[in-house]
Structure 1
Amino acid sequence: MSAPVVDVWGPVAPGARSSYPSAPEPHETWHLSGGKAWVYYSPLNRRQLIRPVILSDGFSGGSSDLDQLFHGLEENGDYRFISELHASGRDVIILGYDDRTASITDNANAAIECIRRALSERVGRAKLVVGGFSMGGMVTRYALAKMEQDPACPDHETSLYFSYDSPHQGGWLPVALQAFTHYATDKWGDAPGIGPVLRQFSGLLNSPAAKQMARWHIEKVGDTPAQAPERTAFLKALDEVGGWPRTVRRIGVANGVDTGTGNGVKAGVIAVRCDGETLHDTWLKTQAKGDQVVAKLQKTGEGVTEVRTSGLPDIDGAPGGLFVLPSPAGDAGSFGLAALLMALIGNEVDPDVITTSCFIPSISAVDAGDINDPKALHQPITPDRSALDAYLCASRNEGHTTMTEELGAWIVNEIVAQG
């Protein structure tokens, strides 16, 4: 059984990775230190790199999967992003990484090498467009900023940077889910079948990149939710290179709304509960403000473990891109993943599961406020609050990094406007 993993296109159910259709053969493949780039020339450019657009992969387990990436950009939504870029005369470079769980700053070195390669292969003097999806937006943000600050780096010759539902102010995965995953791994991590699934997902949560992006993280049950040291170090590194690339137009989109309207998930209620062969009356709650027991965990025949939080915002119901898990039973999400894991270890799950929750708050995706501020999370976003030069939020709260015509066409139009 393969593990459920979180990737640039949202979480993937066990076995789903193999279902992606094969991507068209790239015109060129660049082997980079720590990564790989697949080049698709525009049909208008006669197999020459004339107006390059670099699209960076995001977070997941293992190395980047071209079939998965191409499917996400062309087939996973209602807008054919690569085809539209090609129709505008842009050449598409899909940037992937050998290890998508590695540090953002490490993968930024591959992004810098990709930018340099694009400049060396480019015919003419057209400026580059560089950006990415989810974590990919953070990797390329840091890479461009580092190139501007490092005397040893050449000019990146980039006119436009974009991010697609990237966690500029951090992302959210319910503490209750993190705790349950680590608890279940401690108890059943060596069990046949389910053990590797649990260990892999717990490992993903504790990977360098996940720690850098999570606004609140726990490494094991009983930890106090906080920014991991890896995140603190990354934010310091980002600050040391100026925070943002300064010589480019900075744009971004969010898969959540800017109106302050949440996704309907209520705070402080039981999201998923189970009872059965291995767990007794175990439940996880949505996050509320103030002191709260967010999870009651009990292996059958053992004592109760309570998971408490204090001072966190009511973020599960906030506007933003949703944690979405495609599965045979239909789309689920963060708490839906917990329900899946509970069932896999032999328990009956109550049917009234609150499946999903906010994953990348809108104010994080457009860098318009601190997601630790409950008021900022749930109020309308205005342009004067954003660190971006321009942004677009979705007209509804939808799955994280879902490629829609609304958001995809806006980015393409911005790219075309650069000339």
Structure 2
Amino acid sequence: MMAQEARIDVKTQLQKAAGDLSAPELYDLARIAESGPWFGIPAIRSAETARPPDFEWPLVSEYAYLGKYGKGTAAVHLANGHDRVVNPMIFADGFNYGPSDLDALWQWFNQPYSEAGERLFDQLLAAGIDIVLLGFDARHDYIQVNAGVARACIGKVIAERQGTAPLITGGVSMGGQITRYALAAMEQAEEDHQTETYLSWDSPHNGAWIPLILQQMAYFFEFFEALTPGKPSKASLIRSPAAQQLLWAWVEDARYSGPVATASPLRAQYVQELADLGGFPQRPVLLGVSNGRGDGQGPTLPAGEIAFDKKFLGGLVGSATARYQPDFGEQRPVGGMHLGLTMRSSTTTAIAPFDGAPGGMLDSFGQVATTLGIDMEEAKRWSCFVPSVSAIALDFDPIAWNVDLGKDLREVTAEHTALTEFCCNATNTEHSAVTPTLAEWVLRKIAK
């Protein structure tokens, strides 16, 4: 018996006009959904001023991908007592829209993570590690485009480094994918990347997840926006090359019915290109951490349960309903939306309950709810973004995803993961967050 195909089906209906609703009322409703891309990682800034880099390097890729040469910036923070780069760690920025904010990236990873006030980047600097933060002019671009920027950064670090200390190279979220691709491509080209240790922080090695019903809402409500020329809209990040390459399940618009697993050809192509490069670089020790638990316990988000159900003007002109992803099944309802005369309802088939999987979490439901004026309990705003089984590069097919999302990873041995060593967090925490468990493990491994 053949396995069912993971898919979504959308039913569209035209509603009769309700009452004597004027155009201004519809405009006011649409204005609730302000423009700006959904599902990015917000730039969290503390009240403190970010440590200014000792110097910055503009970077331009020497390798075109589909005719594009990536650009970016490296912000260099020298270790205590260093006046030049001696013991470098390249750490690349992750998934989001637009240019990197390296000050915010510094602040995020240097927030106090313990009651004692310990800060990860400060500890690395004190241990003699020079931190090179790698940012990109367009984080939402193709991974291969930004991998060219990473290759330029590696070459620059080697050229500027004093001495012969090997590199630590990696990144957070998609930054771990970008540097993974870059190192593997350099090895295939017989370029000496001089990297001894690769480090990924909650990187979606086998793919990431954003709820399909929320992807559809981004496209649907975008249609009613008063868009500002040149300003990204709600679906800009979802339709970007980076999202299409990273997300295991993706839809191209609010009306799409059909297969969702690797639905974008960009993902299939990226997965194949990565496999052609050997999957991972072969020379470095491969380290990875997951912001999700490793014991198979996900957040308490019952599969198929309603996450939010919003009625606009009493339901006369609009509504938005979203459910947490059901546990497989056939044509299981996941929600719907309507505004004005258009109503859509969606069902999914043969899709695992990703929202409640152990992993690094994103406030996907929360971002949508806030924009649409919906009040939600804090715990219900967050769902799985990078499943633990993906962050630790567990050995399974990244196309078919024939894996138990709740697998106990505590007994996983080296032959079942592409990484040399990995660490899962004690709880399911926000994607990319620094926690005592992860920080202490990383420090033991690289701050020798």
TM-score, structure 1 as length reference: 0.87
Q: What is aligned with 1:180?
A: 217
Distance 1:53 1:279, change over 3 A: farther
Q: What is aligned with 1:330?
A: none
Q: What is aligned with 1:335?
A: 365
Q: Quick check: 1:26 aligned with 2:26?
A: no
Query: Post-superposition shift, 1:334?
Result: 1.4
Q: Quick check: 1:226 aligned with 2:226?
A: no
Distance, in Å, in 2 between the alignment partners of 1:191 and 1:416 is: 48
Q: What is aligned with 2:104?
A: 68
Distance, in Å, in 2 between the alignment partners of 1:76 and 1:189 is: 39
Q: Which has the higher contact order (CA 8 A, sep 6+)?
A: 2
Residue 321 (structure 2) aligned to one of 278, 283, 288: 283
Q: Deviations over 1:68-101 (max 9, x none)?
A: 1111111274451211111111111011011110
> Normalized per residue, which structure has more helix?
1
Q: Deviations over 1:301-357 (max 9, x none)?
A: x2431122111111110100111xxxxxxxxx21112211222xxxx6677993221
Distance 1:275 1:109, change over 3 A: same
Distance, in Å, in 1 between the alignment partners of 2:193 and 2:47 is: 34
Residue 378 (structure 1) aligned to one of 406, 410, 420: 406
Contact 1:102 / 1:208 at 8 angstroms: preserved in 2? yes
Q: Deviations over 1:31-81 (max 9, x none)?
A: 101010011111132x12111011100111211112211111112744512
Q: Quick check: 1:98 aligned with 2:133?
A: no
Secondary structure class of the residue paired with 2:356:
coil
Secondary structure class of the residue paired with 1:256:
strand
Amino acid at match of 2:145: D
Q: Quick check: 1:311 aligned with 2:373?
A: no
1:14-413 equivalences in 2 (<5 Å): 21-33=48-60, 34-45=71-82, 47-75=83-111, 77-78=113-114, 79-151=118-190, 154-186=191-223, 188-190=224-226, 200-223=233-256, 224=258, 225-227=260-262, 228-277=264-313, 279-288=317-326, 289-291=328-330, 292-300=332-340, 302-323=341-362, 333-343=363-373, 354-370=380-396, 373=401, 376-381=404-409, 382-384=411-413, 385-413=416-444
Distance, in Å, in 1 between the alignment partners of 2:196 and 2:403 is: 35
Query: Post-superposition shift, 1:118?
Result: 0.7
Contact 2:77 / 2:131 at 8 angstroms: preserved in 1? yes
RMSD between aligned residues: 2.3
Amino acid at match of 2:144: T
Distance, in Å, in 2 between the alignment partners of 1:176 and 1:95 is: 33
Query: Post-superposition shift, 1:24?
Result: 2.2
Query: Post-superposition shift, 1:26?
Result: 1.2
Distance, in Å, in 2 between the alignment partners of 1:21 and 1:125 is: 35
Moved more, 406-415 or 69-78: 69-78
Structure 2, unaligned runs of 5 or more: 1-33, 61-70
Distance 1:231 1:72, change over 3 A: same
Distance, in Å, in 2 between the alignment partners of 1:353 and 1:76 is: 23
Distance, in Å, in 2 between the alignment partners of 1:353 and 1:165 is: 20
Query: Post-superposition shift, 1:365?
Result: 0.3
Distance, in Å, in 2 between the alignment partners of 1:62 and 1:20 is: 23
Distance 1:208 1:409, change over 3 A: same
Contact 2:222 / 2:233 at 8 angstroms: preserved in 1? no
Q: Using the aligned pairs only, state the percent identity.
A: 32
Distance 1:19 1:413, change over 3 A: closer
TM-score, structure 2 as length reference: 0.82
Contact 1:58 / 1:133 at 8 angstroms: preserved in 2? yes
Distance 1:93 1:107, change over 3 A: same
Contact 1:57 / 1:64 at 8 angstroms: preserved in 2? yes
Q: Deviations over 1:241-290 (max 9, x none)?
A: 11100011001000001101111111011111100137534311111112
Distance 1:41 1:133, change over 3 A: same
Distance, in Å, in 2 between the alignment partners of 1:140 and 1:414 is: 19
Query: Post-superposition shift, 1:184?
Result: 0.6
